[in-house]
Amino acid sequence: MSVLAHEIMTPTVKAVPHHWTMDRLARFLTDNEITGSPVTDDNGDIIGIATLKDITEFRWNASRTGDQPQLTPEEQEEARRLRMVIFEEMGKVPVEVRDIMTPIVLSVDEDTPVRDIANIMMREHLHRIFVTRDSKITGIITTYDMLKLISQKELTQRCAEND
């Protein structure tokens, strides 16, 4: 008998509203000791996912100097100074979650075999995937949840039986 999504999923999904600031998102993720969260619109529907990686990439892209071999050292320094001024000004206008989230949300049905889920996660380079029933999200499976397949003997045996 295959191990199914609903058997290993985490049934509580901590979502954040799209209008939260990036800083509030960072505090939320840190306080809850998670690395990502679904993003909801004003109706509570999930419209994307925001992760610590999204925050890091936004900050990195705003502050990096990049390779500019065509500029003189003085021009490179001026370009760096201007980027920093722009970044500081951007800090005065809060960046919202909707500005940094990934708008693609992949999900699987509660009855999807975990082997299929593992293949999707590997193929798409995902660390989390939503679980649904009748198009409503009922849980989330993370790479941590997938480790249950190894750490729980009964699940490991059931997976091995289906090879």
109-159 pLDDT per residue, tens? 999 999 999 999 999 999 899 998 887 889 999 999 999 888 888 888 888
11-21 pLDDT per residue, tens? 988 899 999 99
Domain ranges of the chain: 5-56+96-161
Domain 5-56+96-161 in CATH 3.10.580.10: yes
Average pLDDT of the residues of the chain: 85
56-91 pLDDT per residue, tens? 888 776 555 555 457 788 887 887 777 777 666 656
- HEC letters along the chain: CCCEHHHHCECCCCCEECCCEHHHHHHHHHHCCCCEEEEECCCCCEEEEEEHHHHHHHHHHHHCCCCCCCCCHHHHHHHHHHHHHHHHHHHHCCCEHHHHCECCCCEEECCCEHHHHHHHHHHHCCCEEEEEECCEEEEEEEHHHHCHHHHCHHHHHHHHHCC
Amino acid 62: pLDDT = 58
With 0.75 as the threshold, say if the pTM is over it: no
